[in-house]
C-alpha cells in the first residue's frame, strides 16, 4: 500500500486484521517475515498520519482493544469454561502466555499510535489496554475457580501427594502479573483464601496430634510442617507470603496448644528436663521462640525444675547433716549442668539466665541444719553464678 494514497478505514483495517489473524494462528510463536511486519506497521502509520477526516488514530485505538475482546470472547473463554482443576490451570497458563505474545506483537504493529496519539491524549498505553482486557474478561470470571484448584492441590501436597509445582508457580505468577505492579490481586484474590485454608488445615491436624502424640513427636511434626511451608514458598508461592503463612502454622500448632504441649504428661517440658533430653529442649526453644511470649512458660518450667532440684539438695544435706564442702560441690555441679542448658539448648537467652539465677537465689537462701551454710551458698552464688551468667 502506497503511503501517498488515502487508505480508508475498512480497507486498511481489513489488511491489519489479516496480520492479526496470522499472528493468532501462529501462537505461541508466530512466524512473521520482516516484510509482513513492515507492511502492517506502515499501514497503521499511514492511517494515523493522513489528513483529517482520514486520520483514523482514534478508530485504530478502539479497534486495538476490540481485537483482544473478540479473540477472548470467541476462543479463549469458551476453551477455559470447559475445564476444571489441573486442566484448567494448564490451559490458563497457555492462554496467558499466548495473550502476552499477542500484546507484544500488536504493540509493535501499533507502535506509532502508542508513541504519539496515546501519549498526546493521555490515554492508557496499548500494552496496558491489552493486559487489562485479559484481566477484565478472563481473570475476573475465573480467578475464584482457579484459586480453589490451586488450594486443593496445595492441600493434596500437604497430605503427601506429588503435584506439579512448576505449574502452580506459573499460575501464581499470573495473579502477580495481572496486578500490573501491585500485589492486591495476589493478596486479595488468592493469598487471603490460602491463609484461611492453611489455618483450618493445621487446626484439624493439631487437634488430632495433641491427643495422640508425645510432646517430642508433636514438636518434630510441627518443625517439619514449618520446613515444608517454607519449601512451598521457595518453589511456587510469592516470597511475601512466607511470614504470613508461617504465622498461621505457628499459631495453630503452637500458640493454641502451648499449655497442653508444655505440660503434657508424661512427655512435656518437665519430663524433657528430668530426662536430660537436650535435643528436644533445643527444638522446644526454637519453636516457642517464634510465637508471642512463647518462651515465658518454658523459662518458668525451667526455673521450677532447677528450684526443685536445688531444694532437694538442701533437704538431702539437712537429712544427712553432711559436710558443707560436698553440699557446695553438688550445688556447683547443678549450676554447671543447667548453665550449659541455658547456653546450648536456650541459646543464652536472657529469660533463661534470669530463671537460673532466680532458682539458685531461692534455694541458696535456705539454711542447712541451722548453720551458716546459707552464707556460704550466697558467697558461692556471688562468686560463681553471677559471674558465669554475664
Q: Which three cell numbers stand for residue 387?
A: 559471674
Residue 1 near residue 68 (C-beta atoms within 8 A): no
User: In this model, does residue 332 exceed pLDDT 80?
Assistant: yes
Residue 297 near residue 346 (C-beta atoms within 8 A): no
CA gap 146, 154 in Å, rounded: 13
Residue 3's pLDDT band (cuts 50, 70, 90) = very low
Q: For domain 182-289, give the CATH number.
A: 1.20.1310.10
Per-residue pLDDT, 101: 92
For the chain, give the percent of residues with pLDDT over 70: 91
Looking at 1.10.700, 3.40.50, 1.20.1310, 1.10.3470, the CATH number of the domain 293-390 comes to 1.20.1310
Residue 2's pLDDT band (cuts 50, 70, 90) = very low
Domain regions of the chain by residue span: 9-142, 182-289, 293-390
- Output helix, strand, coil percentages for the chain, rounded to the nearest 5: 80, 0, 20
Q: Which three cell numbers stand for residue 200?
A: 483450618
Q: Tell me if domain 9-142 and domain 293-390 are identical in fold.
A: yes
More confident residue, 332 or 145: 145
Residue 383's pLDDT band (cuts 50, 70, 90) = low
Per-residue pLDDT, 82: 92
The pLDDT tens digits of the residues spanning 63-76 come to 999 999 999 999 99
- Decide: helix, strand or coil at residue 55: coil
In angstroms, the Cα distances linking 145 to 92, 134, 149, 153, 172 are 11, 16, 6, 13, 13
The pLDDT tens digits of the residues spanning 182-209 come to 999 999 999 999 999 999 999 999 999 9
Query: 9-142: what CATH class?
Result: mainly alpha
* pTM metric for this prediction: 0.86
* Contacts of residue 268, Cβ cutoff 8 Å, sequence gap at least 6: 215, 261, 262
Per-residue pLDDT, 388: 53
The pLDDT tens digits of the residues spanning 225-280 come to 999 999 999 999 999 999 999 999 999 999 999 999 999 989 999 999 999 999 99
Amino acid at each position: 500500500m502506497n503511503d501517498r494514497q488515502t487508505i480508508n478505514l475498512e480497507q486498511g483495517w481489513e489488511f491489519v486484521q489479516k496480520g492479526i489473524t496470522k499472528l493468532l494462528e501462529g501462537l505461541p510463536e508466530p512466524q512473521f517475515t520482516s516484510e509482513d511486519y513492515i507492511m502492517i506497521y506502515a499501514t497503521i502509520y499511514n492511517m494515523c498520519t493522513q489528513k483529517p477526516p482520514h486520520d483514523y488514530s482514534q478508530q485504530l485505538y478502539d479497534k486495538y482493544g476490540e481485537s483482544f475482546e473478540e479473540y477472548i470472547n470467541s476462543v479463549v473463554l469458551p476453551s477455559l469454561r470447559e475445564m476444571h482443576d489441573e486442566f484448567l490451570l494448564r490451559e490458563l497458563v497457555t492462554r496467558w502466555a499466548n495473550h502476552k505474545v499477542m500484546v507484544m506483537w500488536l504493540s509493535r504493529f501499533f507502535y506509532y499510535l502508542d508513541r504519539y496519539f496515546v501519549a498526546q491524549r493521555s490515554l492508557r498505553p496499548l500494552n496496558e489496554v491489552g493486559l487489562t482486557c485479559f484481566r477484565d474478561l478472563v481473570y475476573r470470571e475465573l480467578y475464584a475457580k482457579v484459586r480453589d484448584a490451586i488450594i486443593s492441590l496445595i492441600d493434596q501436597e500437604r497430605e503427601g501427594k506429588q503435584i506439579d509445582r512448576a505449574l502452580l508457580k506459573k499460575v501464581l505468577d499470573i495473579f502477580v502479573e495481572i496486578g500490573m505492579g501491585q500485589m492486591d490481586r495476589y493478596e486479595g484474590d488468592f493469598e487471603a483464601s490460602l491463609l484461611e485454608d492453611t489455618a483450618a488445615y493445621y487446626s484439624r491436624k493439631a487437634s488430632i496430634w495433641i491427643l495422640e502424640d508425645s510432646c517430642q513427636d508433636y514438636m518434630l511434626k510441627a518443625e517439619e510442617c514449618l520446613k515444608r511451608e517454607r519449601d512451598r514458598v521457595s518453589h511456587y508461592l510469592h516470597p511475601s507470603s512466607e511470614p504470613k503463612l508461617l504465622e498461621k502454622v505457628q499459631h495453630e500448632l503452637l500458640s493454641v496448644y502451648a499449655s497442653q504441649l508444655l505440660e503434657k504428661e508424661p512427655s512435656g517440658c518437665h519430663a524433657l528436663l528430668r530426662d536430660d533430653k537436650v535435643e528436644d529442649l533445643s527444638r522446644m526453644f526454637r519453636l516457642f521462640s517464634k510465637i508471642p511470649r512463647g518462651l515465658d512458660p518454658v523459662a518458668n518450667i525451667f526455673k521450677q525444675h532447677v528450684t526443685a532440684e536445688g531444694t532437694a539438695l538442701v533437704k538431702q544435706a539437712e537429712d544427712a547433716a553432711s559436710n558443707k564442702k560436698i553440699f557446695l560441690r553438688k550445688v556447683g555441679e547443678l549450676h554447671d549442668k543447667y548453665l550449659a542448658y541455658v547456653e546450648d539448648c536456650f541459646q543464652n537467652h536472657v529469660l533463661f539466665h534470669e530463671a537460673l539465677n532466680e532458682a539458685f537465689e531461692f534455694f541458696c537462701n535456705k539454711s542447712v541444719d541451722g548453720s551458716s551454710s546459707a552464707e556460704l551458698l550466697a558467697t558461692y552464688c556471688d562468686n560463681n553464678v553471677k559471674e558465669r551468667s554475664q
